[in-house]
Homo-oligomer: A and B are copies of this chain.
């Protein structure tokens, strides 16, 4: 009664779990186990510290060995998220950036909303010791922070994955039972993608690369040590826009046009 088979619809639309530079194989295994507990299947690893395939990970995963065996490896975050549309970053504290902050529950609601529109989502988790860098977070659409006791705030990797999986499955079951979620959605959620789909992360990364190279040529990024911070700000700004693929084409057209004028000007002379 409580544990019916997972609804078919949830089985291929669950969020992808992405671990950035996980340190211990054992933690990858227990995170995979927590995923399996709540029906999450797709695991991606960015640059794990230890070798892969990893025996400790397989051992710790217990009967979630399939999640570990099917995990895919990436050298950097951009590649790991290239085909996804929305990425949420789990952090222990808010960062100094303008980025929506969600609870696990509201993030799960948002993920289910995105899934309804066939968007692919991912949840990003950082290193065991130090979490995610601000640069990594700047690639994400929102931050997820779990409510915890401020005097004992640290959750381990598997526990953080567990909470997200739990909230996701809870709502998957609610949805599949035909009960409406009591979510009075944000403007964001109601965003109407008429005749357009959200840009993939690959399209966004290409946009950032294009803009960066033009800004280097134009002298906007003349102070080398300030470039990473400036690019983080720009990524945060543009991702907050939740751009469609058409928006990305428009922005690239604008950049090319503004820059092109420079390029063509000498010929006109």
- Chain B residues lying within 8 Å of A211, measured Cβ to Cβ, are 254
Q: What is the copy number of this chain in the assembly?
A: 2
Q: Determine if B237 and A243 form an interchain contact, defined as CB atoms under 8 angstroms apart.
A: yes
Q: Determine if A250 and B237 form an interchain contact, defined as CB atoms under 8 angstroms apart.
A: yes
Given contacts A3-B148, A187-B188, 8 further A-B contacts (CB under 8 A): A3-B93, A98-B191, A98-B194, A237-B243, A237-B247, A240-B242, A262-B264, A265-B266
Asked whether any CB of chain B lies closer than 8 Å to the CB of A186, the reply is yes
Q: Known: A94-B2, A187-B188, A269-B266. Contact between A105 and B149, CB under 8 A?
A: no
Contact with B along A130-169 (1 / 0, CB 8 A): 0000000000001001111111111100110011001001
| Cβ of A37 to closest chain B Cβ, rounded Å | 5
| Cβ of A92 to closest chain B Cβ, rounded Å | 9
Q: Determine if B98 and A193 form an interchain contact, defined as CB atoms under 8 angstroms apart.
A: yes
Q: Determine if B37 and A106 form an interchain contact, defined as CB atoms under 8 angstroms apart.
A: no
Asked whether any CB of chain B lies closer than 8 Å to the CB of A190, the reply is yes
Asked whether any CB of chain B lies closer than 8 Å to the CB of A195, the reply is yes
| Cβ of A46 to closest chain B Cβ, rounded Å | 24
Enumerate chain A interface residues (CB-CB to B < 8 A): 1-6, 33-34, 36-39, 63-64, 93-94, 96-106, 109-110, 142, 145-155, 158-159, 162-163, 166, 169-170, 173, 181-196, 211, 214-215, 217-220, 230, 233-234, 237-238, 240-244, 246-247, 250-251, 253-255, 257-266, 269
- Chain B residues lying within 8 Å of A63, measured Cβ to Cβ, are 152
Q: Which listed residue (B98, B105, B158) contacts A170, Cβ 8 A? A: B105
Q: Determine if A4 and B150 form an interchain contact, defined as CB atoms under 8 angstroms apart.
A: yes
